Amino acid sequence: MIVTVTFNPAVDHTIQVDAMPDSGTVVRTDEAQFDAGGKGINVSQYLTGLGADTVATGLVGDFLGEYIRSELEDEGIPADLVEIDGKTRLNTTILSDDDEFKINHDGPSVDSAVVSDTIDAIGRYDPEMVLVAGSLPPGLDTDAIDRIANAGEWNAVVDVGGATLQALDTEYALCKPNREELAVATDRSVETVKSCLSAADVLREQGFERVVASLGADGALLASSDALVHAAALDVEVADTVGAGDAMLAGVLSELVVGGDDRAALCRGVAVASRIVANTGTTVPSFAELDDSVGRVELTDYAALRE
């Protein structure tokens, strides 16, 4: 069982326009989508699609919080959400030609008492893994994440911003930075795949047993005590990349939780992500013939870099 924690869920509004408006003009479109989102919620959605056992926990409030609750229920995603007084946020992605513009709201202010409520919710499921993912709403700091990691016997996993990664103060089983977050967390250059692999090893020393870094169109890498390996991205027609990192992580965790090894986990992560980037928004796609996609992921071993 993998429990996900989203302290700052969002409704993802994805809108397609022919061209971005000029100042003072209006563009109209009939292509708009509203998805229940936030990183942990997305991971639980993809895990459910992959047939893995998961429960989504997190903080929701007001009408957009209700929308998230009802979407998860309609989609059959197990959830145990904590109700807050504030308003769940709306995050907007505008797709125009080949461009993608993302606007993320900070989210509602919350009281730190919600951390104990969240720990109570997690405790009801006795999970092997607990993932804390996404930004922190105003009112919470990195102590909230460390508290979750230390509250039970579970393997703690994080997918948070680079500065947050740097500020964490306990041991984690895995973290999933993207390229920019890897650079911020390590203060290192990440221009080449080799420099990303070295940065991932630096991050491991900061208290992460495994580092899985997603590198957009350059694929992903995994650094652990057993492996230093890069996987190329699959060649797919990209609709948008919203949820790509969450999909990668869902693929990786779904393999690790059943005892799969690092290489198999990385391949599955890349294969799952390739299905999501081919889809608009964060809708769960079909995972039919996923094993074929997993088999097409090309791995390069970089263990020699450590010698």
Ligand X SMILES: O=P(O)(O)OC[C@H]1O[C@](O)(COP(=O)(O)O)[C@@H](O)[C@@H]1O
N-to-C CA span, the chain: 37
> Considering the rule CB under 6 A, would residue 246 count as an interface residue with ligand X?
yes
Nearest-Å Rg of the Cα atoms of the chain is: 19
> Considering the rule CB under 6 A, would residue 220 count as an interface residue with ligand ADP?
yes
Those residues whose C-beta lies under 8 Å from the C-beta of residue 30, and which sit 6 or more positions away, are none
> Considering the rule CB under 6 A, would residue 245 count as an interface residue with ligand ADP?
yes
Question: H or E stretch including 219?
Answer: none
Give 81 or 233: the residue with its C-beta nearer to ligand ADP.
Answer: 233
The interface with ligand ADP within residues 275-304 (CB under 6 A) comprises 277
**Rounded distance, CA 70 to CA 248, Å?**
25
Strands annotated E in 176-298: 208-214, 220-223, 228-231
> Considering the rule CB under 6 A, would residue 57 count as an interface residue with ligand X?
no
Using the structure block, give the residue that is written with the tokens 């003009």: 25
> Considering the rule CB under 6 A, would residue 10 count as an interface residue with ligand ADP?
no
Cβ contact 257:129 at 8 Å: yes
> Considering the rule CB under 6 A, would residue 177 count as an interface residue with ligand X?
no
Segment interacting with ligand ADP (CB under 6 A) among 30-38, 64-72, 142-150, 238-246: 238-246
Give 220 or 229: the residue with its C-beta nearer to ligand ADP.
Answer: 220
The minimum distance between CB 11 and ligand X, in angstroms, equals 8
Segment interacting with ligand X (CB under 6 A) among 8-16, 60-68, 138-146, 199-207: 8-16
Q: Tell me the CB-side half-sphere exposure of residue 208, using CA atoms within 13 A.
A: 29
**Rounded distance, CA 146 to CA 137, Å?**
16
The pair phi, psi for residue 167, each rounded to 5°, is -90, -10
The active-site residue out of 35, 146, 159, 246 is 246
Q: Is 218 a catalytic residue?
A: no
> Considering the rule CB under 6 A, would residue 12 count as an interface residue with ligand X?
yes
**Rounded distance, CA 70 to CA 86, Å?**
18
Which positions lie near ligand ADP, rule CB under 6 A? 178, 214-217, 219-220, 233, 236, 238, 241, 244-245, 248, 270, 273-274, 277
Active site residues: 246
Which positions lie near ligand X, rule CB under 6 A? 8, 10, 12, 37-39, 42, 91, 104, 134-135, 242-246, 282
